[in-house]
Amino acid sequence: GKGWRVTLPWRMRCRTKQMLHEHALLRCNLELEVDTLSNRKAQLELDKEESRRRMMEARERGRKCHSEIAQTVDAFHVLGSELKSDLVDMHACLKHKEREVKLLASELRSNREELKEEQQRVRKEEHEKMALLSELEHERANALTVLEHAQDEKLQLQLQLKKVERELSAARIRLREVS
């Protein structure tokens, strides 16, 4: 082996070392790239598995949502049916109430007419009472005037009576004196 080294030119030996070094470097780079690709492949497998798992969850959620939507639609159908039934009942009740209101309105009109008649009768009676009171007041005033005249006449008569009694007394005294 020693002779081979001696025989090879120095430049050739350097070039060979350089090529071996480059080969080793290239091999390292290739191994590194293979590792990177392996890691990327493993990551892609994990991502694929995660994506599959998410897709299964999404499908399950979709099934649940579909079931809930179907239940909600059924519930709305039931509710719609109940609302229609309630609406029919309320419509009938409304018709009944309208009839009652019409009847009450008729009674109210009748009562108003009666009330008007009653008010007119009461006003007429009040007017008659006031006229009667006025007449009674007038008669009372007349009676008071008559009473005052009667009292004056009574006083005059009493005075005349006293005068007559005095005259009578004087006449008796004179009669006794004469006899």
pLDDT digits (tens, 9 = 90+) for 30-79: 999 999 999 999 999 999 999 999 999 999 999 999 999 999 999 999 99
How many domains does one find in the chain?
Answer: 1
Give pLDDT tens digits for 118-163.
999 999 999 999 999 999 999 999 999 999 999 999 999 999 999 9
Q: In angstroms, rounded to a whole number, what is the distance separating the alpha carbons of residues 28 and 20?
A: 12
Q: What would the two tokens of residue 7 be?
A: 């025989």
Domain that holds residue 125: 2-178
CB contact set of 175 (below 8 Å; sequence gap of 6+)? none
Query: How far apart (Å, rounded) are the C-alpha atoms in residues 149 and 153?
Result: 6
Predicted confidence band at 9 (pLDDT cuts at 50, 70, 90)?
A: confident
